[in-house]
Amino acid sequence: MKHQVTIGVDPGANGGIAWIMDGKACAERMPDNLLDLCELIRDIASEGQCKAYLESVSSSPQMGVVSAFSFGRGYGNLEMALTAVGIPFERVRPQVWQKALGCMTKGDKNITKKLASELFPSIKCTHAISDSLLIAYYGTKQNQ
């Protein structure tokens, strides 16, 4: 019997990838390069039947041109890695998953870090992985 694996992705260089299987959560910072990203996605996919939830975000007016381009390239890399490995994914806006979990941040990442720490006490929750853990948790609730 294949395991059901729910993946949460907080895109960006300071984001992370988390996955929940059989009630056990794991998370990693966003890999630094394409090879490591593809390897991580492939390793997660080997665990079972996967579905990913990718935070749907866009560049902000505060970003410079280079930052916005880099962010967009990274987002596209995530979509391609998931697609190449055959993992279906759904884009979910931050407002949607945060509202569903009762943790509207209005930009304060400490709110999501606190909730992630409460839900996943065995994981050292950092700003880099907290949102990805919560997105994966949100995804598990969608699959029920």
Residues 132-142 have a mean pLDDT of 96
Q: Are 83 and 92 in contact (CB under 8 A)?
A: no
pLDDT of amino acid 63? 65
Q: What is the pLDDT of residues 71-116, one digit of tens each?
A: 778 888 999 999 999 999 999 999 999 999 999 988 888 999 999 9
> In the block, which residue shows the tokens 């400490």?
110
pLDDT of amino acid 60? 67
Region class of 90: left (phi > 0), else alpha (psi between -120 and 50), else beta: beta
Parse the chain into domains and list their residue ranges. 3-142
Region class of 131: left (phi > 0), else alpha (psi between -120 and 50), else beta: alpha
Q: What is the pLDDT of residues 27-74, one digit of tens each?
A: 999 999 999 999 999 999 999 999 999 998 766 677 677 776 677 788
Selection from 103, 86, 88 nearest residue 137 by Cα: 103
Q: Are 131 and 139 in contact (CB under 8 A)?
A: no
pLDDT of amino acid 59? 62
Q: Above 90 in pLDDT, residue 5? A: yes
Global pTM value: 0.92
Residues 15-33 have a mean pLDDT of 95
Q: Are 142 and 42 in contact (CB under 8 A)?
A: no
Q: Which amino acid is at 102?
A: G
Query: For residue 73, what are the CA distances in angstroms to 14, 40, 68, 101, 112?
Result: 14, 18, 9, 29, 25
CATH code for the domain defined by 3-142? 3.30.420.10
pLDDT of amino acid 44? 96
